[in-house]
């Protein structure tokens, strides 16, 4: 580009200040209009403005290295992907998750004479189902402690029952006539509350399932140890009997040999 610094600029005010204010568009409208008029006729200002815009463009390439903050946080909740999913779908997913997790939580590990057996809630025997049905019947006849009766056998059922009741209450509350809240606000608040509760329940359910799994693993280990000890005792007994039998056989053989030796000596 040809150097235009020797071209005379006729701007009457403080040219440098106005030029930089114009460059950053941080200028009073009157000054802008005045400089616009000047700019149309001043080659030197045109060139310098273009050059400084080029410098600004270069400056835009300078980015600091990405920081690794110790205080790095999760993005705000509003940007979570699950916010794009309708509340009913989230509730359905939560129910599905609870169901699958419940099946896993009913893991049944046994070690006995038949060997190691692993079963989940889905493969429980009909008898177990019968017990559950009986319990459900008991639930309907004794409303005083419905959840606790169920939770003794399958804690996750209590969560499902509570969730169902919660959903029913929410649903009833949302269709109560005469509620004057705006629709959007009503939906927003109840959805947020509902989701928070569902997440809380899922968390609690997970914790309970982990405890239950730990208990079951501990129980399985205890069973294994008991069975192992029993096997050892049995092996010892068998080995003892075997040794005893061996001893008797050896003694009998010795007697036979002695008898034969005695007979042979008599014949001689």
Partner 1 sequence: MTWTDEELVARSISGDADSFNELILRWERPIYALAYRQIGREEDARDVCQETFLRAYRALGGFRGQAKFSSWLYRIALNLCRDWVRRERRTPVVQAPDDVDLLDLAATREPSESIEELVARKDLSRSVERAMKRLPDEQRTAIILKEYHGLTFQEIADLVGCPLSTVKTRLYQGLTVLRRELARDGAAAR
- Residues near partner 1 (CB under 8 A) are 14, 16-17, 19-21, 23-24, 26, 51-52, 54-65, 67-71, 73, 76
Contacts of 42 (CB under 8 A, 6+ apart): 7, 9, 10, 11
CA end-to-end span of the chain = 140
Q: Quick one: 27 or 163, whose CB is closer to partner 1?
A: 27
Please identify which residue in the block is written with the tokens 């693993």: 217
Q: Quick one: 130 or 188, whose CB is closer to partner 1?
A: 188
Backbone phi, then psi, for 203, in 5-degree steps? -60, -45
Q: CB of residue 118 vs partner 1: minimum separation in angstroms?
A: 45
Q: CB of residue 48 vs partner 1: minimum separation in angstroms?
A: 9
Residue 108 β-bridge partners: 119
Q: CB of residue 130 vs partner 1: minimum separation in angstroms?
A: 51
Rounded to whole angstroms, the Cα distance separating 244 from 261 reads 26
Q: CB of residue 79 vs partner 1: minimum separation in angstroms?
A: 12
Q: Quick one: 50 or 92, whose CB is closer to partner 1?
A: 50
Helix axes 87-105, 155-174, angle to 10 degrees: 170
Determine the number of helices (DSSP H) and then strands (DSSP E) in the chain: 8, 2
Whether the CB-CB separation of 204 and 156 falls below 8 Å is answered with no
Q: Quick one: 60 or 86, whose CB is closer to partner 1?
A: 60
The Cβ of residue 42 has, within 10 Å, a number of other Cβ atoms equal to 20
Strand extents, DSSP E, the chain: 108-112, 115-119
Which among 199, 191, 186, 189 has a CA at the least distance from the CA of 86?
Answer: 191
Q: CB of residue 66 vs partner 1: minimum separation in angstroms?
A: 8
Backbone phi, then psi, for 125, in 5-degree steps? -70, 165
Contacts of 206 (CB under 8 A, 6+ apart): 101
Q: Quick one: 181 or 228, whose CB is closer to partner 1?
A: 181
Q: Quick one: 184 or 266, whose CB is closer to partner 1?
A: 184
Q: CB of residue 11 vs partner 1: minimum separation in angstroms?
A: 13
Q: CB of residue 45 vs partner 1: minimum separation in angstroms?
A: 12
Q: Quick one: 54 or 247, whose CB is closer to partner 1?
A: 54
Q: Quick one: 20 or 149, whose CB is closer to partner 1?
A: 20
Please identify which residue in the block is written with the tokens 């692993």: 118
Q: CB of residue 187 vs partner 1: minimum separation in angstroms?
A: 16
């Amino acid at each position: 580009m040809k150097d235009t610094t020797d071209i005379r600029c006729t701007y009457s005010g403080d040219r440098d200040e106005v030029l930089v204010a114009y460059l950053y568009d941080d200028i009073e409208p009157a000054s802008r209009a005045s400089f616009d008029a000047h700019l149309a006729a001043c080659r030197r200002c045109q060139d310098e403005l273009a050059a400084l815009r080029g410098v600004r463009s270069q400056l835009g390439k300078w980015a600091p290295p990405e920081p690794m903050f110790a205080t790095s946080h999760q993005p705000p909740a509003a940007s979570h992907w699950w916010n794009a999913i309708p509340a009913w779908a989230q509730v359905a997913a939560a129910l599905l998750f609870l169901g699958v997790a419940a099946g896993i939580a009913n893991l049944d590990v046994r070690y006995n004479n038949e060997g190691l057996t692993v079963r989940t809630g889905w493969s429980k025997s009909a008898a177990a189902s019968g017990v559950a049905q009986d319990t459900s019947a008991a639930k309907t006849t004794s409303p005083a402690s419905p959840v606790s009766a169920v939770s003794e056998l399958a804690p996750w059922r209590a969560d499902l029952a509570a969730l169902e009741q919660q959903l029913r209450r929410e649903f009833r509350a949302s269709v109560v006539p005469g509620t004057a809240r705006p629709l959007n606000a009503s939906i927003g608040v109840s959805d947020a509350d509902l989701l928070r509760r569902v997440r809380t329940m899922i968390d609690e359910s997970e914790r309970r399932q982990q405890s239950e799994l730990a208990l079951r693993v501990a129980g399985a280990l205890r069973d294994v140890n008991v069975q192992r000890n029993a096997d050892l005792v049995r092996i010892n007994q068998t080995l003892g009997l075997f040794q005893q039998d061996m001893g008797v056989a050896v003694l009998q053989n010795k007697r036979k040999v002695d008898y034969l030796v005695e007979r042979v000596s008599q014949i001689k």
